[in-house]
Amino acid sequence: MTAIETVRYDAVVLGGGDPGDAFAAAHGVAVKPLIPVNGQPMALYVLRALHGSGRVARIAYVGPLTPEIEPLIDMRVTDHGSLLANLEAGVEALEVDGQGAQRVLVVTADIPMLTAAEVQDVLDRASPEAALVYPVVRREVCEAAYPGVRRTYARLRDGSFTGGNLFILDPALIGQFLPRLREVLAARKAPLKLAGLIGPGILLRLLAGRLTVKALETRVSELLGVPARALITPHAAVGTDVDQDEDLALAAAYLGQEKPPA
């Protein structure tokens, strides 16, 4: 067994959502991750990928359950209404018995095309010294895997990237960087406030597409007060969540190529 394979991971799966989500309501479910893909809740595909990776010891699931989901999780956590609150609640649930893992994988429950091999590869390639690892996917990788897919991309000097729907953190340091992360997210729609937080020079270089991945890592690390790293992954599914009907049709067609596990 290699050193990488001995790292223990727990997982927090974010399966909550806005009770007023029109997309979920249109499909007759309470929250988006319960929308069926080829007859099964999309969250179920994510949970199977985690189990199949061979890298995840325990799973805390935040949000409402179905009978199919319940056997695949170790603990259920009540939806607290926001991504960061749910993240914090999930990590706390894993730590409450003193058996918390060295690292925690946080994954949204709306990326049904994620596979076990992709989970394993992301975890095995994650920087071990970083308190926060955030996978990103190149635009050309997404468009080659799923022609016509629509994603939001950030243009950097190294290329155009979309953010992943999972990340890895050191649970011992979450209290150190979470308050600052909450502040940054709160300012994301207020350009002047955001510029004050990350620095106007960095913001201008980002908007102009002149910022490198390395420079962005450095600034995020300074801002959060912990080592943060971007992981450029070749797996388009990591950056492809289901947000609308055309995404749902894509996932159904893609997953329909093989018979889903029973």
Asked if residue 77 has pLDDT above 60, the reply is: yes
pLDDT at 6: 58
Q: Which helix (H) or strand (E) holds 167?
A: strand 166-169
C-beta of residue 221 within 8 angstroms of C-beta of residue 131: no
Chain centroid to Cα 249, Å, comes to 21
Per the prediction, the chain carries an average pLDDT of 90
Half-sphere CA count of 249, side-chain side, radius 13 A:
7
The residue among 234, 230, 232, 213 whose CA lies nearest residue 141 is 234
State the amino acid at position 128 in one-letter form: P
Annotated domain spans of the chain = 7-255
Other Cβ atoms less than 10 A from the Cβ of 240: the count is 27
Which CATH number is 7-255's, of 3.30.70.60, 3.90.550.10, 3.40.1080.10, 3.40.190.10?
3.90.550.10
pLDDT at 193: 75
In this prediction, residues 47-68 reach a mean pLDDT of: 96
Asked if residue 189 has pLDDT above 90, the reply is: no
**Tokens 């894509």 belong to residue:** 250
In this prediction, residues 80-90 reach a mean pLDDT of: 91
Calculate what percentage of the chain has a pLDDT beyond 70.
92
Does residue 229 or residue 259 have the better pLDDT? Answer: 229
25: left (phi over 0), alpha (psi -120 to 50) or beta: alpha
What pTM does this model have?
0.90
Q: Tokens in use for 101? A: 């893992």
Q: How big is the CA angle at 234 (ends 231 and 235), to the nearest 5 degrees? A: 100
Rounded Cα distance between 159 and 210, Å, is 10
Which residues 6+ apart lie within 8 Å of 196 measured at CB?
A: 187
Residue 133's DSSP bridge partners are 168, 229
3-state secondary structure of 36: strand
pLDDT tens-digit readout, 13-42:
999 988 789 999 999 999 999 999 999 999
- Comparing 35-39, 49-53, 170-174, the range with the smallest average pLDDT is 170-174
Strand duo 159-163 + 154-156: pairing: antiparallel
Half-sphere CA count of 97, side-chain side, radius 13 A:
9
